[in-house]
Structure 1
C-alpha cells in the first residue's frame, strides 16, 4: 500500500476501506483505480492503482457529485481520464454510524475494451453484399431455412432443442409458407435441424396439407 505522509490527514474511520480498495484494484488490475475521498476535508484520502495522476492529499473536486445523504451508490457514470481514456465509474458512499464520511470511487479504464469491441465489430460484421454475392446465394435454400429458423426462434425466445410438437408444426408451417420444402433434400435437412426423423417432417407436412384441404 502507498505510504501516507504527515500532511495527508483523513478521517480515521476511513482507514478500513483502504484494504478493500487495494483488493478491488488487485482483482481487476490493470484496468481499475480505486480512490477513497474524505468528505470532511474534500481531499483524496487513499488511492489504489492510481491511473489519474492524483495522490493522497489532492483535492477531491467532488462538486459535481451532489448526492442525497440516503444514497448508497452513485452511478455508474462516465469520466474522461487525463490522457483521454474513457473511464466507467461508480461511487460507493462510506459511512460511520450512518453518517456519510467518504466515497469509494471505482474507476474502470474501458478504452481497451472499446478497441476490442471495434476489432470484433470489424471482424464479425458482414460487409455490404454486392450484386454478385446476392446472385451467388439467391438459390441457397440452406441459407433461407437457416435464417428463417433462427429468426423464428429469436422472436419466441426459444432454443431449437426446446421446441415441442405444436411449436414444431407451427415452424414447419412457416417454412412451408416460404417455399422451403421445394428443394428435394429440404425435408431431410429440416429434420436434422430439428433433431427428428425425416418421417416426422413428412408426417407433419402431410397433416398440414390435410388441414388446408379441409379448411
Structure 2
C-alpha cells in the first residue's frame, strides 16, 4: 500500500477513535482523562482529548512516554496499568495502547490516565489505622504539557548525568552516554530537538550533532541531520 493510502487509513482509524475518547472519559468521570495521539507530528500529537487530569489540549505535545514509544518504533507494545505522577504530585494510573496501520507500523496511541491520588491517600490512611502502613514507593514523575520543548527539557534535566553535575564536568564517555540515553528515550525523534538539547546543555549545535552521531555509530536510526 502506498503512503497516501496508508495516511488515509491512519486518518480513518483516528476519526473512528474520537468518540471512544469521549466515551472512556464519560464512563469514569472527572478522575479520568483519555488522549488520542497521532505520532506523525510528535510536537502536536494530541488530536483528541476528554477530561482534564493532565491539562493537555488538542494540538499539544506528547509526553516522554510517547517519546519512549517513538524510540521503540514498530517494536513498541502496549503499556498497561503503570503508575506515574505529574509535576504537581498528582498520582496517575495509566495505560498507553499503540495504534498500528495494516502494515503493522505504529502511528499513534490511545492513552488513559486515572487520577488515583485520593485512592492512594485513603489506602495510606487505612494502612496507618490498621498498623500496616509501609513507606511509600518512589513513583517516577512524567512531564505532561502542550509544549514539546518543556518535555524535552524535563527529560534532559532529570537525567542522572545532568542532575548531579554540569555538562563541562562530564568526560567524553559520559557525554556519549547522555546522548545515547536521550536518543533511546525518543528525544531526537522530535524536529529541532538536537538544537534544543544543545541549547539546554550550553554547547554548539555542531557539537550536539557530533555526539549524537558518535552515540549512533554502531546502530541507531538515521540522525536528525541539519
Q: TM-score, normalised by structure 2?
A: 0.46
Higher relative contact order (CA 8 A, sep 6+): 2
Structure number with greater Rg is 1
Q: TM-score, normalised by structure 1?
A: 0.49
